[in-house]
Structure 1
Amino acid sequence: MILSPFEWTVAKRYMLPGKGEGFIALVAGISVGVVMLSVALLVVVMSVMNGFRAELLDKIVGLNGHAIIQAYGGRLDNWQDVLQDVRKTPGVVSASPLIEQPLLVTFNGRVEGVLVRGNTAQDIQRMQPNVIQGDLGGLRPDASNVAIGARLAENIGAQVGDTITVINPAGRSTPFGTVPRQVGYRVAAIFEIGVYDYDEKFVVMPIADAQTLMLTGDTIGMIEVKTQDADKVGEYLAPLARKLSGRAVVSDWRQINSSLFEALEVERVAMFFALSMIVLVAAFNILSSLVMLVRAKTRDIAIMRTMGATRRSLLKIFVTTGFTIGAVGTMAGLVLGFIILYFRQNIVEVIQRLTGQNLWDPSVRFLSTLPARADPVEIIGIASLALILSFLATLYPSLKASSTDPVQVLRYE
């Protein structure tokens, strides 16, 4: 749809209405603004939803792996052989033993329910970027040192160097009944994963210390697995799940956090369709502004027809005029959307100060900061949606303009 110099000159003239056409210019400006805001809104919302999913997956997988192999009864005997089989499975990047047990922690009279995790030295060192106080180097077997989450440290008032008491209710059996096991551990480090539940509940120690605390001997409760592709973890581990049937259950990250990720996916799809309606409203604005322009330029159209302008030329002129409004609004919307995403955390903080409300409570939102991750394919899809709807909105008024009968219009001139 290449425009001739004549067609392009007329189209540019109609894009910038002259004196006496201020109302048409106002409607066209509103159309550009609505397209801009709708595209920006779609970009921001979809990027934030993608950021939620990606950040949660990164943080959850960073601590729990892509899958967990958990023994029936909580104890996996001959786990060394199972671990070797897991590591030999195609698609598996790494596998390591893990102990995780809900216990109690007490400090200065405060008691909190926690999840005690026994990790290998390699897994503990991978947490080093998340340490905000202390050093994980002190977490050595038999050193009685632990690392705790930042929220847990706040809740019980513990700091690096303090000694907390971990209580295992399933202690040793005595003639007087079961005596809970209480062991003191020095806080060597405080970490912040960024997921509120983890920072509030986790106590990390060497796996040997966890075995001693829980009186499990040389057994473990589960094996943590990481694969080449998180989205294909079920495919990778399907043969292993069949092999371990009756001994252990294989649960991937989707199953472990199914309610959370399914809710995010449903909300993401619902938000996209809801906000797409705003783009449709913007397209109707383009249609209305173009209809007004055609009505205002009926005499001009008739004169151009009598001077030899074809129906095709008029169609191209008005399609170009309307589509340009949509294209300008789309480009402006993309720029505005990326600006909002760049300053998103500052915007949240400003709104919080103005309203006096905590809009981002990590205990509710799971994450400590507002995440965002723009998907190039999705951005292209949003821009394409806006441009297609803008183009479709130009067809009716453009066809109406091209079918104008100059004889009827000029009869009374």
Structure 2
Amino acid sequence: MTESAQQAAGGRSTGPFARFEWMIAGRYLRARRKEAFISVIASLTMVGVAIGVATLIVVMSVMNGFRGELLDKILGLNGHFTGYPIESQFTDYKETVSALEQVDGVKFAVYFVEGQVLASGRGSSTGATVRGMDEANLKKLDLLYNSAEQGGFDSWDDSTGVAIGYRLAQTLGVGIGDQVQLINPDGAMTPFGSTPQIRSYPVNAIYNLGMVEFDSFYIFMPLEPAQDYFKLIDDVLKPGQAPLDIMASDAEIDAAYDRVPRASGVEVFIDNPDSVNMMRERIEAMPNLRPMILTSWQQRNETFFSALQVERVVMFTILSMIILVAAFNIISSLIMLVKDKGADIAVLRTMGATRGSIMRIFSITGTTIGVIGTLAGTVIGLIVAANAETIRAAISDFLGVTLFPPEVFFLSSLPSRTDPVEVTVVVCMALGLSFLATIYPAWRAAQYDPVEALRYE
């Protein structure tokens, strides 16, 4: 007897699987001329598993990157909380920001002036949001402050210009130094009603945040010019000062009145974006903090991110079917292999191989197909996910079409973030399905009766 036959007869093994079981399973995986068709099916099954695993990893990585990039952009410019005053005019905005920054868990807070305008350039107009901020607050927003592609935010408080997104600059047809006309319907009151407020400002900076919404609709302006433009500076009579008559000079008016600026609201940035409920309680529990309406980023974007989460789950479920189909292919290829190896199974049984040995041989054969396919798919998926934007750009250039247009997907590039936990889940699922697919064919092989199998040989 050969060594393998002796091991089969004696039932000796070197672990959970005997060495001869591995040897026979390996021989069944190698193609021979009369078994070429079965081997081709096994190879295609292996490719199917690899494609399924790679597709799942790439799609989930892109979905994670899309959500993460959007979250980073949105929360890099807008706070985790946006607060608007409930009572009275918001004149104590600096004190409010200082108080908010003392709350445990708050990274920083900024105050701002905001309003809607019609922006006009060289023969083109579009709606825009103007946000007034001083340089100290701009520096807190690293995403914005470091995003200037032309010009910059140096000496921002002393400037009289504006910063606009590069997409808005393209829409208006303006560049650095050109004038942008801003039209606000809430202008000066006249005997005939309110007249629009129309002013022009030079473009001092053009920024690129990489998000279509911000790059297309936001205009940033120094705080004091913004307060003046939106009439958020009130003339308050000094204590003990008698009201002046209408014939008073400008010097007398300046001496009798204090100019008190106001802000529109505050943005609050916290350490953990997911702890908004706990942080809301901390902020609202602060003593001596003016009453404010706090809106969290989850409330502002609830529908959008909920839709992303549903899409992510649905895509995972649908693409998992690819692996499930490959698992069924493993079943079919093993059943064909069992039919083809009926005589071999009978010989092994007559030499002393147990039903358990036969099951393990075919389980090893089928599981090996799944393991190789899973490993290959994981490697391919990780490589493609890591180079998703490069591949997208190459395909777009080759086909001459824009894949994932930023106007639709909000981002100017295709992001990808691979989650090790999700990769582990995909790999374990593929391996588990591959193993489960071998149980029935292996069990059928173990039920072969040696006498019946050899009768017609």
TM range (shorter): over 0.9
Higher Cα Rg, which structure: 2
- The equivalent residue for 2:239 is none
Unaligned segments of structure 2, at least 5 residues: 1-14, 234-260
The answer on 1:160 being equivalent to 2:176 is yes
The answer on 1:96 being equivalent to 2:110 is yes
Q: Distance in 1 between matches of 2:354 and 2:393?
A: 57
- The equivalent residue for 2:267 is 224
* Kept in 1: contact 2:135–2:153 (CA 8 A): no
The answer on 1:173 being equivalent to 2:216 is no
* Kept in 1: contact 2:112–2:264 (CA 8 A): yes
Select 2:369's aligned residue among 300, 325, 335.
Answer: 325
User: How far apart are 1:209 and its partner, in Å?
Assistant: 2.2
User: How far apart are 1:155 and its partner, in Å?
Assistant: 0.6
Select 1:130's aligned residue among 147, 158, 165.
Answer: 147
Q: Give the TM-score normalised by structure 2.
A: 0.85
* Kept in 2: contact 1:144–1:184 (CA 8 A): no
User: How far apart are 1:353 and its partner, in Å?
Assistant: 4.1
The answer on 1:26 being equivalent to 2:70 is no
- The equivalent residue for 2:223 is 207
* Kept in 2: contact 1:74–1:221 (CA 8 A): no
* Kept in 2: contact 1:131–1:190 (CA 8 A): yes
Which shows bigger deviation, 75-84 or 23-32? 75-84
Matches within 5 A, 1:3-14: 3-14=17-28
* Kept in 2: contact 1:362–1:368 (CA 8 A): yes
The answer on 1:400 being equivalent to 2:423 is no
User: How far apart are 1:245 and its partner, in Å?
Assistant: 11
Encode CA deviations 1:196-215: one digit per residue, 9 max, x unaligned.
01101111122222111111
User: SS in structure 2 opposite 1:167?
Assistant: strand
Q: Distance in 1 between matches of 2:321 and 2:84?
A: 46
Select 2:324's aligned residue among 260, 268, 280.
Answer: 280
Question: Which amino acid counterpart does residue 33 of structure 2 have in structure 1?
Answer: K
User: How far apart are 1:246 and its partner, in Å?
Assistant: 9.7
* Kept in 2: contact 1:96–1:120 (CA 8 A): no
- The equivalent residue for 2:10 is none
Question: Which amino acid counterpart does residue 171 of structure 2 have in structure 1?
Answer: N
Q: Distance in 1 between matches of 2:285 and 2:122?
A: 48
Q: Distance in 1 between matches of 2:127 and 2:165?
A: 13
* Kept in 2: contact 1:103–1:115 (CA 8 A): yes
Identity of aligned residues (%): 41
- The equivalent residue for 1:139 is 156
User: SS in structure 2 opposite 1:231?
Assistant: coil
Which shows bigger deviation, 115-124 or 195-204? 115-124
Q: Give the TM-score normalised by structure 1.
A: 0.94
Give the direction of change, closer, same or farther, for the CA distance of 1:393–1:258 in structure 2 (3 Å limit): same
Matches within 5 A, 1:2-401: 2-72=16-86, 76-125=90-139, 126=142, 127-141=144-158, 143-217=159-233, 218-241=261-284, 247-401=291-445
Q: Distance in 2 between matches of 1:184 and 1:297?
A: 86
User: How far apart are 1:254 and its partner, in Å?
Assistant: 1.4
Encode CA deviations 1:80-137: one digit per residue, 9 max, x unaligned.
4432332222211111112221112222343221110112313423223211111211
Q: Distance in 1 between matches of 2:208 and 2:456?
A: 80
Unaligned segments of structure 1, at least 5 residues: none
* Kept in 2: contact 1:241–1:249 (CA 8 A): no
Question: Which amino acid counterpart does residue 256 of structure 1 have in structure 2?
Answer: R
Q: Distance in 2 between matches of 1:171 and 1:402?
A: 89
Q: Distance in 2 between matches of 1:173 and 1:334?
A: 68
Q: Distance in 2 between matches of 1:76 and 1:267?
A: 41
User: How far apart are 1:345 and its partner, in Å?
Assistant: 2.6
The CA RMSD measured in Å over matched residues stands at 2.0
Q: Distance in 2 between matches of 1:84 and 1:354?
A: 54
Give the direction of change, closer, same or farther, for the CA distance of 1:189–1:246 in structure 2 (3 Å limit): closer
Question: Which amino acid counterpart does residue 321 of structure 2 have in structure 1?
Answer: M
